[in-house]
Amino acid sequence: MTFKKISQVCSIPAPIAVFLAIFLTGCQAGKKIADGDAEKIPFTTADLKAAQKVIGLSFTDNEIDTLYGTVARNLDGYQGLRQTPLENAVAPALVFDPRPAGFNMAEVPAAGTAEWGLPEEVTLPDNKEELAFYSVAELSVLIRTRKITSVELTGIYLERIRRYDARLEAVITLTDSLALVQARRADAEIAAGKYRGPLHGIPYGVKDLASVKGYPTTWGAQPFKNQQFDFTATVVEKLEAAGAVLVAKLVSGELATGDIWFAGQTKNPWDLQQGASGSSAGSGSATAAGLVAFSIGTETWGSILSPSSQCGATGLRPTFGRVSRYGVMTLAWSLDKVGPICRTAQDCALVLNAIKGRDEKDRSTIDAGFVYDADLDLKTLRVGFLEEEFSKETGKWGENANQALATFRSMGIEPEPMTLPGGASVYALMSTIIRAEAGAAFDDLVLSNQDDDLARQTRWSRANSLRQARFIPAVEYIQANRYRDQLINEMKAVFDRYDAVIVPTNTGNQSALSNLTGHPAICLPNGWDDKGRPTSISLLGGLYKENILLAIGARFQALTDFESRHPAGF
């Protein structure tokens, strides 16, 4: 019986009828097998004996015989479920919450007046193209005081995209017509005294995982290169409400992995022989090269911090649930996060303030306060650092990391040696969870063999990861999440003691660990390697305590100039 017939006969809503139809399909298939129609079963007990080796189990012959028919009935149930494809946007009924038992939301400021520390006066340069590397904070003053119009500034960035992007492959879709409409509106509002705030009139780009009505949203993958949605992602809507101007959709690595996409590889503007890292490759590259004033990226496991580090930008990965993911491609429901990639920590604060907040369209979001204080007394903070991981940094990375520690000490911070929980097992947990969830999110791609159309087909490719997902038992996924809950409580103990933890960006387990537990992080440029490419340092913070990370980052950048430099040739 089809779901339409069930709905008509029983007078129940169509969604419920769909699942009843699936259930009946599975039951009918199971009854067929139970009645002894064994020749219809597409596998033998010998297949089961061989398959158990993949998951590290060993059942007796009698146990295999006993479960044989039930496993076959399970397979028929799966086939019934597959008759109703699920779109990527459909989330599971289970919603991840990073807050451990006993977490006190009262410790998160609910309201307050931000102290942005914006410059009082900004001079317009003789060569206006230099504005491409001004911070959002500086540009906001120029626009607010009407020393430059949004239309003029937008034109500078659009021209730079047309001139330089062929070398970078950071932009996938130019939204120039939309940008000019938004820029003209911003200028008219500002002239009329309707100033919306520091992002008003500022040109930016968004990673091409986020839908924008009227434009393609390709997810960086060949099977979706002509995909369009009739709605706009919440993060883009919030930026429009803040008056920001969308000039481009920026390249995402293929289905949110790496810097390779269906038409090429996004480059690091400091070294065009090197990829920008991923998967917010376009966001990191375009921001560093001055093609946008700031950008929006996403992170599941390193995809904001890694391209920020590689390209010399400042990237903020917010607390899980801090920013809505509605309208943004899902890779892993319990891990995906949306955040800004900017020139400075102060800019990241300005952008986070605009995009944060509860969204009824994304059940993982939460209303948690955010109050930025540029004058935060850093001497009152207790800060840890991963001494063992710092000792593993070598060459210029090691020199720059130790110099960064010295700079933090000059700010009145006294970092204490400490360790993080989890050890090497964190990678096994992350691998199990991210692959299982990504496999579910893109199951239709594998079942239809469209995974063969993805650009990368290597061991570490997204295509291979999606296929591997089919060999992760549901029990192991649940067990991984139980261990994850233990890590969440262990991390609570860390941040009950410390306000922030300084970590090398590229060593240790901190990236996997903090993504699993949903904690925020910021990546700060701190120098260059022997080849003139950026190096970085990162900080982890307590849940919803981005304000502390950003204040530390802003003070660090006030004492250094790494964030203000830009790559030669751009």
Dihedral sign for Cα atoms in the order 282, 537, 526, 323: positive
Q: Distance between CA atoms of 513 and 553, rounded to whole angstroms?
A: 21
What phi and psi values does residue 190 have, to the nearest 5 degrees? -65, -40
User: Which residue among 140, 279, 283, 309 is the active-site one?
Assistant: 279
Q: Distance between CA atoms of 195 and 144, rounded to whole angstroms?
A: 7
User: Which residue among 7, 207, 337, 514 is the active-site one?
Assistant: 207
| Catalytic (active site) residue 514 | no
DSSP string, 472-525: S-HHHHHHHHHHHHHHHHHHHHHHHH-SEEEEESSSSSHHHHHHHHT--EEEEE
Q: Distance between CA atoms of 386 and 521, rounded to whole angstroms?
A: 15
DSSP string, 16-27: HHHHHHHHHHHH
| Catalytic (active site) residue 431 | no
The residue type found at 99 is: R
| Catalytic (active site) residue 211 | no
Joined together, the tokens standing for residue 464 give 């291979």
The residue type found at 315 is: G
Joined together, the tokens standing for residue 225 give 């290169």
**What burial letters (b/e) apply to 144-178, b meaning 16+ CB within 10 Å?**
beeebbbbebbbbbbebbeebbeebbbbbbbbbeb
Q: Distance between CA atoms of 136 and 119, rounded to whole angstroms?
A: 11
What phi and psi values does residue 200 have, to the nearest 5 degrees? -65, 120
Taken as a whole, the chain contains a residue count of 570
User: Which residue among 135, 277, 303, 461 is the active-site one?
Assistant: 303
Joined together, the tokens standing for residue 321 give 């649930």
Do 491 and 513 meet the contact criterion of CB atoms below 8 Å apart?
A: yes
Positions annotated as catalytic residues are 207, 279, 303
